[in-house]
């Protein structure tokens, strides 16, 4: 929403420049056009690069917390707690296999998540809620997917 407003503001600036510039010489026109489009491009790049890679925490809240809860403690007898969970503490590869294959009521995330996102969310659950584990790389996830 805020981003959309910014975007509109810059678009407006762009038009404004064009309007004013018509009365000036060509050199200024090109310079002003360059300035306003550079601003636009910078903004768009910032927006896109921000949304490109999500943090493990954001991914967890988006994909896992509805069942395992934000605090990772799950719901007794329904969704297992990931806090202090043997499998989770055990190895990143085991968690990756659960995400890739799915398990019981839990859906597979193979199609829904890139290897980068999987690595980020696994590293998050293995190092949150009191857990501590070595990091897993997206390359290892990639090889497990095959
Ligand atoms: C729709 C609910 C649901 C969602 C969403 C979900 N899970 Fe699960 N998860 C489960 C259930 C139910 C189990 C237990 C499955 C079984 O053992 O039959 C489970 C098991 C697990 C296990 C194995 C733990 C154990 O003790 O068996 C891990 C690790 C895990 N989930 C991580 C995640 C992560 C990370 C995400 C998000 C990317 C996620 N889950 C999303 C429901 C869910």
Q: What is the CATH number of the domain that holds 98?
A: 1.10.760.10
Q: Do 62 and 30 have their domain in common?
A: no
Q: Which residue has the tokens 């190895």?
A: 91
Q: Which domain holds residue 30?
A: 2-52
Phi, psi of 131, deg, nearest 5: -80, 155
Looking at residue 23, what is its pLDDT? Answer: 58
Closest CA to 99 of 110, 89, 87: 110
Q: Do 128 and 77 have their domain in common?
A: yes
Q: Determine the distance separating the centroid of ligand 1 and the alpha carbon of 115, expressed in angstroms.
A: 17
Please state, in angstroms and rounded to a whole number, the distance separating the CA atoms of residues 52 and 64. Answer: 19
Mean pLDDT by 10 residues, the chain (146 residues): 54 52 60 67 65 87 98 98 98 98 98 97 98 98 95
Q: Which residues line ligand 1 (CB under 6 A)?
A: 63-64, 66-68, 79-80, 82, 85, 87-88, 95, 98-99, 103-106, 109, 121, 125
Looking at residue 53, what is its pLDDT? Answer: 79
Q: Do 39 and 61 have their domain in common?
A: no
Distance (Å) of CA 14 to CA 11, 47, 117, 131: 5, 18, 36, 50
In a 3-state reduction of DSSP, which class is residue 119?
helix
Looking at residue 92, what is its pLDDT? Answer: 98
pTM, rounded to two decimals: 0.74
Q: Do 115 and 63 have their domain in common?
A: yes
Q: Do 62 and 20 have their domain in common?
A: no
């Amino acid at each position: 929403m805020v981003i959309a407003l910014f975007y509109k503001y810059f678009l407006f600036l762009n038009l404004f420049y064009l309007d004013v510039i018509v009365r000036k010489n060509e050199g200024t026109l090109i310079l002003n056009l360059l300035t306003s489009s550079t601003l636009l491009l910078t903004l768009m790049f910032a927006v896109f690069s921000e949304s490109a890679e999500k943090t493990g925490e954001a991914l967890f809240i988006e994909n896992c917390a509805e069942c395992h809860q934000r605090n990772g403690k799950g719901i007794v007898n329904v969704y297992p707690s990931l806090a202090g969970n043997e499998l989770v503490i055990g190895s990143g590869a085991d968690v990756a296999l659960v995400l890739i294959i799915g398990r019981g009521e839990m859906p597979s995330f193979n199609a829904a998540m890139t290897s980068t996102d999987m690595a980020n969310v696994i590293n998050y659950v293995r190092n949150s809620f009191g857990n501590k584990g070595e990091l897993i790389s997206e390359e290892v996830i990639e090889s497990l997917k095959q």
